[in-house]
């Protein structure tokens, strides 16, 4: 079943711009690493461009929009299905 979700245009536009930046920038960074550049450039990009905070903002926008439609309990169920980074040590 497909359902439409009303979203705030400004928030959705910002989300798209951020995602566009991440895709283009990560492609460039990973290409440079693949060409032999120091892999620390990835960390530099993440820190200098504030990715953790910006990704948290995007998650909040999407989560708030979904919660209005499906409710907090359903959103929590979705969040619990996520598999995050696992330390390999």
Give residue limits of the domains in the chain: 20-77
Could you give the percent of the chain with pLDDT greater than 90?
Answer: 78
Q: Is the pLDDT of residue 88 over 90?
A: no
The pair of structure tokens assigned to 1 is 């079943």
pLDDT in tens, 26-41: 999 999 999 999 999 9
DSSP 17-58: HHHHHHHHHHHHHHHHHHTT--THHHHHHHHHTTHHHHHHHH
Q: Is the pLDDT of residue 7 over 90?
A: no
Q: Is the pLDDT of residue 89 over 80?
A: no
pTM: 0.82
Question: CB of 23 within 8 A of CB of 11?
Answer: no
């Amino acid at each position: 079943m497909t359902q439409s979700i009303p979203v705030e245009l400004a928030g959705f536009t910002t989300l798209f711009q951020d995602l566009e930046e991440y895709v283009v920038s990560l492609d460039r960074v990973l290409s440079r690493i693949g060409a032999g550049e120091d892999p620390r450039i990835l960390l530099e990009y993440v820190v200098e461009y504030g990715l953790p905070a910006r990704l948290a903002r995007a998650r909040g926008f999407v989560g708030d929009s979904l919660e209005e439609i499906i409710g907090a309990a359903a959103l929590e169920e979705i969040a619990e299905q996520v598999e995050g980074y696992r330390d390999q040590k």
